[in-house]
Amino acid sequence: MVRLAKGYATVGLSLAALLWLLELLQRLEDAPAGGALSLAWQTVRVLPETLVDLLPVVVVLATAAVMGGLNRDQEITAMRAAGISLGRIAGIVLVPAMAAALLALALLQWGTPLLHQGPTRITGPDLGQEGLWHPTHGIWLRQDRAFLNVSSLEHGRVPTAITIYEYDDTGHLRRHISAARAQPHSPGLWRLEEAVVREFGGGGGPARHSYPEYTWESFLSAAELELLLNPPGSLPLTDLWQYVGTLAARQQDTDEFVLVLAQRLVLPLACVGMALVAVAAAVASPRHRGAGLRVAAAMALGLGYQLLTGMFAQAALVVAWPPLPVAVLPPLLLALVGVGLLRRAH
């Protein structure tokens, strides 16, 4: 157990350092001069989510390396000669794999959302002239004489408590719009729910109109708005579950979010399958010429599984396959393959 824990720590930290460096270099390519420390911190903030996605790779690399070392030193042979079955050895190996998977789920629920809540400056010609998102006062954006304030994000993605100010050329308030929430309807158009529109400039005071739904010509397209919102993988699992229910109630597409949620929830099953495959490959006789090759094949399986499941998920979204089978089938097949290889090795 101690050697497995050290193996997980070594592989996890090595992979984290490599991912951090690659992400930092990519961000420095597109960033202006200066601000390297800020970019380094932003890279650290997205690192836990990436590591969770790669947890099955960490499991198979760490398990194959540690069990291969034990087998090379004849320690597994000694344990089996002492009456410890291969199933019991596999059960011990599954303990840190399950612990890592449960820790990853806890990180997704409580840790990752906190890292995404820090204030972030968003600037650029495509996102208005200036904007600032902060958990306390929301986001303020301006383009020409229009100001937009989004106070909060329901489930991390739906803009709520919206206020819009539109001024005329002389600097006087021309129109004031408030709404409970908004849904991007099409590029450049938002559908505001429970909207109140006040028109200024005429005699007799402002004209007030209430609408259950009101279409507003936004200076933010749906793609630009997506840059301001948290990605689905950064939402807490409970919020993601509630958001899927909200989308379903509105009869909107839920496939992307159901797929992300299901992939998170079946993460322990994928880790179990990777651990079983690594054990089956590592317990080959140390005198067998193919023992090292089998350990290397187990490591290649982990990397290949990660790439293929990612490609399979993206293809499923394109062709509109049901997201639940797409998320559950690969780790289930992997676990069955691991059980079959372990029984054959026994």
Q: Tell me the C-alpha distance between 307 and 223, whole Å.
A: 26
Q: Tell me the C-alpha distance between 33 and 169, whole Å.
A: 36
pLDDT of res. 120: 45
What DSSP string runs through 41-53? HHHHHHHHHHHHH
DSSP state of 233: G
Residue 213 lies in a domain: yes
Residue 152 lies in a domain: yes
pLDDT of res. 44: 84
Q: Are residues 9 and 93 in the same domain?
A: yes
Residues 6+ apart with CB under 8 A from 325: none
* Total domains, the chain: 2
Q: Are residues 281 and 293 in the same domain?
A: yes
Q: How many residues does the chain have?
A: 346
Residue 140 lies in a domain: yes
Q: Are residues 164 and 104 in the same domain?
A: no
Q: Which of 182, 211, 229 is the last residue of a domain?
A: 229
pTM for the full model?
Answer: 0.73
pLDDT of res. 26: 82
Q: Which of 168, 195, 229 is the last residue of a domain?
A: 229
pLDDT of res. 119: 45
Q: Which of 229, 244, 266 is the last residue of a domain?
A: 229
Q: Are residues 153 and 73 in the same domain?
A: no
Task: List the domain range (segments joined by +) for residue 158.
Answer: 120-229
What are the pLDDT digits (tens) for 251-269? 777 888 899 999 999 999 9
Q: Are residues 112 and 166 in the same domain?
A: no
Cβ(65)–Cβ(14) under 8 Å? Answer: no
pLDDT of res. 91: 94
pLDDT of res. 206: 82
Residue 243 lies in a domain: no
Q: Are residues 20 and 105 in the same domain?
A: yes
pLDDT of res. 2: 92
Q: Are residues 314 and 338 in the same domain?
A: yes
Q: Are residues 91 and 151 in the same domain?
A: no
pLDDT of res. 127: 42
Residue 239 lies in a domain: no
Residue 238 lies in a domain: no
pLDDT of res. 291: 56
Q: Are residues 125 and 107 in the same domain?
A: no
Q: Are residues 94 and 147 in the same domain?
A: no
pLDDT of res. 239: 81
pLDDT tens digit at each of 346 positions of the chain: 999 999 999 999 999 999 999 988 887 776 554 567 777 877 888 888 889 989 999 999 999 989 988 988 889 889 989 999 989 999 999 999 999 999 999 998 988 777 765 544 443 444 444 444 555 667 788 888 899 988 887 766 678 899 999 999 888 999 999 999 888 776 678 889 999 999 987 666 788 999 999 999 887 755 556 555 656 666 788 888 887 887 787 677 788 889 999 999 999 999 999 999 999 888 765 555 555 676 678 778 888 898 999 899 989 988 989 999 999 999 999 999 999 988 887 7
Q: Are residues 98 and 151 in the same domain?
A: no
Per-residue burial over 120-148, b if 16 or more Cβ lie within 10 Å, else e, is eeeeeeebbeebebeeeebbbbebeebeb
Residue 278 lies in a domain: yes
Q: Are residues 177 and 259 in the same domain?
A: no
Residue 249 lies in a domain: no
